[in-house]
């Protein structure tokens, strides 16, 4: 009886997907970009239709998990037909916010900042990098793919004048909080942080951390504890 | 009665930690590097002793979760005293494999490869980058922090001659699998992959992926779905 009730509640939640107030679990959200990436690859290969089983073979997730994941957002598949690749990609794109363009800046124009500025994934993700900023006079004025490196002193007025929404942090750990404070003061809404520090910002500012050292430690851990290793993509 | 039995089994598992054959959950493992980072900061500040409550205030994890996490590996805390920072750091370091030195190479000496080569976290994580490799003749021969960029043709013999265990991939997506194949053929045991591709390798080779585009998509998702956002560090 209990399991019936749970199923019923789930269905109800699915039915009101547009006004859903239940949080989608972070692990589901983290899988969406992967689906999006695979769907893009399929479309590039001219494949227009795919079953959850075929998606399972590609991604390594189970077919049932895939159906559950996608059902969280309305369930676009049809029994016996599968998913329309283009439609699913476009729907996922909307969910991921890829149909909008966000203006971004990068603080820290060293190798990592330059690598990020050169990063081709930005267009796909709907981000446009307007400028890099650094305090090193030898870097100021140089262009990376037509993106100019400016003096860090100009960061705050530049953000305000240009309505920048995303701030990327590629400065050393010791300057990360200072940059985050400038971002918050200037009205930045989302921060992509590469510094190995947990920056403190108000609750309404989204922070996505890329802690490279933690990833490296995880690699080291699994080299030492092979039994704990489960292949994940 | 059921809950009693679970508690008993747990205790038993804890008791045989050295020969444990239960897999530690991936989420626990992912938190260890964070503990390690905080303990290093504490030690640098001269703090020698800390309670799970204080660790909780620093990390944002609950005190009970911290005790559970650390108990997975033997539980080094003492009631009423807390944790000895230096000892806990050293124990975690051993668990993470940071007491060993791994030889590493980087395939792809563009901005990202160079940023990685310059990355100070390597020493802390017990990795030593011996060389970068690229096919661009303009890069070959250049040194990044005393680390030479060599011709990609030399990658396989170099790995074999020097007993390299870790291979880093910072080439474009289209070359990622080719590099992974060279790594596997040469006897590499662990791969740190930055290419936005899921590389295929035998089960005994550890792969740690850094998918920057997925991180960026996640940021974009949360910008669009603020209600789903939960602050994580």
Q: Cβ–Cβ of A212/B36 closer than 8 Å? A: no
Q: Does A232 fall in a domain?
A: no
- The whole-angstrom separation of Cα B167 and Cα A77 is 40
Whether residues B109 and B181 fall in one domain: yes
Whether residues A113 and A207 fall in one domain: yes
pTM over 0.80: no
Q: Does B225 fall in a domain?
A: no
Whether residues B127 and B207 fall in one domain: yes
Q: Does A229 fall in a domain?
A: no
Amino acid A96: pLDDT: 85
Q: Tell me the shortest Cα–Cα distance from B159 to chain A, in angstroms.
A: 17
- Total CB pairs under 8 A between chain A and B: 193
Mutate one of B223, B226, B231 to test the A interface: name it (highest A CB count within 10 A).
B223
Q: Does B52 fall in a domain?
A: yes
Whether residues B115 and B204 fall in one domain: yes
For residue B164, the domain's CATH number is: 3.40.50.720
DSSP letter string over B65-97? Answer: HHHHHHHTTT---BTTTBEEHHHHHHHHHHHTT
What burial class does residue B57 get, using C-beta atoms within 10 Å of its C-beta: 0-12 exposed, 13-18 middle, 19+ buried? exposed
Reported as a single tens digit per residue, the pLDDT across A188-211 is 999 999 998 889 999 999 999 998
Range of the domain at A166: 102-214
End position of a domain, from candidates A65, A94, A123: A94
Whether residues B72 and B125 fall in one domain: no
- Nearest-CB residue to B97 (from A96, A115, A224): A224
Interface confidence (ipTM) of the complex = 0.78
Whether B217 has its CB under 8 Å from any CB of chain A: the answer is yes
Reported as a single tens digit per residue, the pLDDT across B22-65 is 567 777 887 888 888 889 889 989 999 998 888 888 888 888 88
Cα within 13 Å of Cα(B133), Cβ side: 22
Amino acid A138: pLDDT: 95
Whether B207 has its CB under 8 Å from any CB of chain A: the answer is yes
Reported as a single tens digit per residue, the pLDDT across A31-68 is 888 888 889 889 989 999 998 888 888 888 888 888 88
Q: Does B164 fall in a domain?
A: yes
Whether residues A210 and A108 fall in one domain: yes
Quote the DSSP letter at residue B164: -
> Three-class SS of residue B147?
strand
Whether residues A170 and A141 fall in one domain: yes
Mutate one of A111, A128, A217 to test the B interface: name it (highest B CB count within 10 A).
A217
Amino acid A23: pLDDT: 65
Reported as a single tens digit per residue, the pLDDT across B120-144 is 777 777 889 999 999 999 999 999 8
For residue B30, the domain's CATH number is: 1.10.10.10
- The whole-angstrom separation of Cα B186 and Cα A120 is 30
For chain B, how far is it from start to end, CA to CA, in angstroms? Answer: 37
- Nearest-CB residue to B208 (from A29, A196, A218): A218
Q: Please name every residue paired with A84 in a beta bridge, in sequence order, or none if there are none.
A: A49
Q: Please name every residue paired with B105 in a beta bridge, in sequence order, or none if there are none.
A: B131, B167
Q: Does B110 fall in a domain?
A: yes
């Amino acid at each position: 009886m209990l399991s019936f009730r749970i199923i019923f509640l789930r269905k109800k939640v699915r039915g009101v997907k547009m006004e859903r107030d239940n949080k989608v679990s972070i692990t589901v959200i983290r899988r969406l970009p992967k689906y999006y990436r695979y769907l893009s690859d399929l479309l590039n290969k001219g494949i227009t239709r795919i079953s959850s089983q075929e998606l399972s073979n590609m991604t390594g997730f189970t077919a049932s998990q895939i159906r559950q994941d996608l059902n969280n957002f309305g369930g676009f598949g049809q029994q016996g037909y599968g998913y329309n690749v283009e439609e699913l990609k476009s729907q996922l794109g909307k969910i991921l916010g890829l149909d909008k363009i966000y203006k971004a800046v990068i603080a820290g124009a060293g190798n990592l900042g330059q690598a990020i500025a050169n990063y081709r994934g930005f267009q796909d993700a709907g981000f446009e990098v307007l400028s890099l900023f650094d305090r090193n006079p030898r870097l100021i004025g140089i262009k990376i793919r037509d993106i100019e490196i400016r003096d860090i002193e100009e960061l705050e007025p530049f953000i305000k004048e240009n309505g920048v929404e995303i701030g990327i942090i590629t400065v050393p750990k010791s300057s990360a909080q200072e940059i985050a404070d400038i971002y918050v003061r200037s009205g930045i809404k989302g921060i992509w942080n590469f510094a190995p520090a947990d920056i403190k910002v108000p609750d309404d500012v989204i922070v996505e951390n890329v802690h490279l050292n933690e990833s490296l430690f995880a690699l080291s851990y699994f080299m030492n504890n092979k039994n704990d290793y489960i292949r994940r993509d």
